[in-house]
Amino acid sequence: MRALINIPHDTNFHFIERRRMALVVSAVLLLVSVVAYGVRGLNYGIDFAGGILLEVKTEGPADLGALRDTVDGLNLGDVTLQTFGAPDIVLLRVKRQAGGKEAQAQAIRDIKAALPDNVTYRRTEYVGPVVGEELIQAGVTAVVLAMLAIMVYIWFRFEWQFGLGAVVALVHDVITTVGLFALLQMQFNLSTVAAILTIAGYSINDTVVVYDRVREDLRRYKTTPLKDVFNMAINHVLGRTVMTSVTTLLALLALYFFGGEVIEPFTIAMIWGVIVGTYSSSFVAVPFLLYLNFQRGSMQGDTDADEATQNAGA
């Protein structure tokens, strides 16, 4: 894989020197994301906006394409179909119709009239907007709590500047992911929230690897300027970062092309998250330490303590 990607061991890209350009790129991405969300909003799926859920059993393996064409012909809006536990059991989701309960009941009658007579209806449910609002609140709470927990973890493992830098990179990744969905008006549902949480975990893993190398190089090069140490640290882990991202993207591209429509929002969010998460680890998380007036005093103290322990043992 290293030969395929062709990343030399002695790379010396000037990441820190390009931090202002990266700042402009990030600012543009964040601005576009915020404007897209404010102007267009999110295209909430049934999980959040409410809608109709039917579980049906067909004779033999279900033809999802034919069923989707049949329901799409009713002009009921967004429709999602997926097999559920067996090839002859299908979950059919339709967005909430304009109007009250009668409009939803009419949509259910239209769907049942359009589907073949040999279909057995195992479950019919209606998800109201109140449940959707509760799910939105739960999703936002999950994301916020995850980021706070990550900040505390990084704070205790490194320094408070590292924790704040990691959270800034995470917020950058989350906002741009939400902005992508607002801009393209892709369906935003619970699987998208799961993707955002996964992106947070992936991004922080990459950031921790870079931060760990930063700490190691700060202890090793005590008199080298911070900018040079940061550049060395990023370059030292560049091969691992790129290889991890590329192999992850290969799996995600396979899911995108062969996984079907149901997991498409999740896959697109993950593809974007891997790209922007790799970018933010090198161009946001580490350069941000310079803006926090980071000092290597505590790192020096750790080094002196380690050396004293080694000398005592000797």
- The pLDDT tens digits of the residues spanning 169-186 come to 888 998 999 999 999 988
User: Do 51-127 and 11-42+132-301 have the same topology in CATH?
Assistant: no
Judge whether residue 231 has pLDDT over 60. yes
Most confident segment among 57-71, 197-211, 264-278? 264-278
- At residue 303 the predicted structure's pLDDT band, cuts being 50, 70 and 90, is very low
The per-residue pLDDT for 79 is: 81
Please report, rounded to a whole number, the percentage of residues in the chain having pLDDT higher than 90.
Answer: 15
Most confident segment among 3-7, 30-34, 116-120, 225-229? 30-34
Residue 97: name the closest of 123, 121, 127, 130 by CA. 127
Cβ-in-10-Å burial (0-12, 13-18, 19+) of 303 comes to middle
Distance CA 161, CA 168 (A): 11
Alpha helices in the chain (DSSP H): 2-5, 19-40, 46-49, 64-72, 101-114, 129-157, 160-184, 190-220, 226-236, 238-258, 264-280, 288-291, 297-313
Judge whether residue 105 has pLDDT over 60. yes
Q: What CATH code would you report for 11-42+132-301?
A: 1.20.1640.10
Q: Looking at domain 51-127, which CATH architecture does it have?
A: 2-Layer Sandwich (3.30)
Lookup result for tokens 């935003």: 188
Question: Would you say 56 and 71 are in contact if contact means Cβ atoms under 8 Å apart?
Answer: no
Beta strands 43-44 and 187-188: pairing type? parallel
Domain segments of the chain as ranges: 11-42+132-301, 51-127
The per-residue pLDDT for 306 is: 42
